[in-house]
Amino acid sequence: MSLDGRVAIVTGAGGGLGRAEALELARHGASVVVGDIDPDTAGDTAAAVEQLGGKAVAVTGDVGERETTDALLAAATERLGGLDVVVNNAGLVRDKMLFNLTDDDWDTVLRVHLRGHFLLCRGALQHWRGESKAHGGPVYGRIVNTSSEAFLSGPAGQANYGAAKAGITSLTVSTARAGGRYGVRANAICPRARTAMTAGTFGTDAPPGVDPLSTGHVAPLVAYLAAPASDAINGQVFVVHGGHVALLRPPSIDRDFVTGGDFWTVAELDDRLGRHFEAYDTDPPGRMFSASDVLELGQPGQETC
C-alpha cells in the first residue's frame, strides 16, 4: 500500500476533495504536485503536505490550458524527480436548465473538466510510454479520473456537466486500454462530497456525527487506486461516498429487435418498437437510458458484499 518514493500530481488540490486526496497520498508517502487555479490555496495545501513530512510543489494555472499541463508535468519530473500518479480532480459547475445554458456555460465546463482531463492524461501517458520504451518494459503509472453520477442520470439542470463527465468516463477506459501495455492503470471515481463546488447541491452544513458526504470517504479509495496493490484494477468506474464503494457494471443490451424482412420499414418499426415502448413506459414510468438507481446508493438493505 506504500507510496514511498512515488510522485503524484493532483489537480484542484487547493481545497475540498482535491486537498483531501493530496493529503491522503502524502500520508502514504507520496510527494505531491499541488495544482490549483488559486495560488494561495495551492500554497496552503503544499504546506500541509510538507507538515506531514512529504515534499510538495504548488503549480497555479487553469487545467484547460496546455501550459498548465506542461507546468504540472515539469514540476513532477524535474523538481520532484519523476511521475507515478495522476489524480484529475479540478472542476467547476455552471448549472442551468438546457434551454438557459449559454455558449460560455457549455464551453467552460467542457474545457475545464473534459479537456483538462484529456491534457493531463495524454501528457502523463506520453511520459510513461517514453519511459517504458527507454527501459524496455512496463513502468509504474496510475491515473485516477473524476467522473460523476451525473453521467449516469442525465440531470436536466446539468447538461454540460453530465456530458463532460460522460466524456471523462470514456476517456478513462481509452486511457486504460492505451496505457495497459506500458504498465499504466487508469480508473474513474464518481464521488459525492461536501465541497465548495457542490454546496448548491449538498449544502454546507454537515449533520451530527459522521458526515456521509465527507471527503474522508473518498480519499482512501484514491490512495488505494494509486498504490501498487491495485495493479489488477484497470478501466473501472466506482461510485464512492458514505462508506460505500460501488463498482459499476457496463451497460448491457435490453432487447435486440431484428427485422422480419431484408430491411426495416417504418410500419414494422412502429409495430415492433412502438408496441414495446407503450408497455415499457408504464413499468417503470418514464424509464430512459439512465442509471438513476445508482442515485439511491446508500439506502438500507442495498449492501451486496
Please pick, among 132, 148, 182, 230, the residue that the annotation labels catalytic.
Answer: 148
What CA–CA distances, in Å, run from 101 to 11, 95, 115, 159, 161?
A: 26, 8, 19, 9, 11
Task: Tell me how far apart the alpha carbons of residues 287 and 280 are, in angstroms, rounded to a whole number.
Answer: 7
- What counts of helices (H) and strands (E) characterise the chain? 11, 8
Q: What sections of the chain are H helices per DSSP?
A: 16-27, 39-51, 66-74, 103-109, 116-135, 150-153, 159-179, 199-202, 219-226, 266-269, 275-280
Instruction: Tell me, yes or no, if 290 is annotated catalytic.
Output: no
Instruction: Extract the C-alpha cell encoding 169.
Output: 468516463
Instruction: Tell me, yes or no, if 165 is annotated catalytic.
Output: yes
Sign, CA torsion 60/116/160/233: negative
Residue 244, φ and ψ in degrees, nearest 5: -105, 140
Cell 503549480 sits at which residue?
A: 59
Question: Three-class SS of residue 227?
Answer: coil
Instruction: Tell me, yes or no, if 147 is annotated catalytic.
Output: no
Q: How many CA atoms lie within 13 A of 241 on its CB side?
A: 21
Please pick, among 132, 147, 161, 182, the residue that the annotation labels catalytic.
Answer: 161
Please pick, among 31, 132, 147, 165, the residue that the annotation labels catalytic.
Answer: 165
Q: Which residues are catalytic?
A: 148, 161, 165
